[in-house]
Structure 1
Amino acid sequence: MIDLTETAQNAVKSAICTAAQPVTGLRIMVEGGGCAGFKYTMGLAEAPKPDDTVIERGGIKLFIAKDSCAQLAGTTIDFVVSLKSSGFTFDNPNAKSNCSCGRSFS
């Protein structure tokens, strides 16, 4: 369903280790909005919501919002560090187009 590159796994593990509150995984979802119509949302989570799909990648539990599963199927998440900016990027085969920000799609 969703893949995390090794770089993304390391970034998430680092965030989990330094979190102020207990964290068991990363919640990922798609919401309406952003430059292109939909945007990716991620955040550390204490536990999955009742209707989340839970998968594990590289020892990290991913909590995928039920309504986002189809839109995220086959997506690879990476973490990129560059001079301009650093952050997570999404390679989503379901996206018809992507915004230049890399965080929204249609």
Structure 2
Amino acid sequence: MIQLTEAAVDALRTAIAGSDEPVEGLRLMVESGGCAGLKYMMGLVGEAEPSDVLVEQAGIKVFVDPMSIAYLEGTTVDFVTSLEGAGFTFDNPKATWSCSCGKSFG
């Protein structure tokens, strides 16, 4: 199961409310690339794909494609604000290592 922290839920609710287009939920996926071999991708979407796995938490729908769910199982998504900026972070127990930016892993 993928978990969203309270801060991530709040950030997503704000993003959804501010979207110019209708939003059904968040697409979370893994793609080849990044400095560590795989990278996290996410974005708001208007509808799910038929093959998506649905994770819902606190009214936020998260859509994950079947290939990505194997990499993301057990991941916690957080939203962090610091002096360096603000953004989503991923605590993925399946990642054996990650790059310093935290957006790619291997």
Query: Into which bin does the TM-score normalised by the smaller protein fall?
Result: over 0.9
Counterparts of 1:104 and 1:57, CA distance in 2: 24
The one-letter amino acid paired with 1:86 is A
Q: Quote the RMSD (CA, aligned, Å).
A: 0.5
Structure 2 spans left out of the alignment, 5+ residues: none
Aligned to 2:89: 89
The one-letter amino acid paired with 1:52 is D
Describe how 1:55-66 pairs up with structure 2 within 5 A: 55-66=55-66
SS at match of 1:12: helix
Structure 1 spans left out of the alignment, 5+ residues: none
Counterparts of 1:17 and 1:66, CA distance in 2: 28
Q: Deviations over 1:4-40 (max 9, x none)?
A: 0000000000000000100010000000001100000
Aligned to 2:76: 76
Aligned to 1:10: 10
> Which TM-score applies when normalising by structure 1?
0.98
Aligned to 1:103: 103
The one-letter amino acid paired with 1:41 is M
Superposition deviation, residue 50 in structure 1? 1.2
Identity fraction in percent: 56
Aligned length: 106
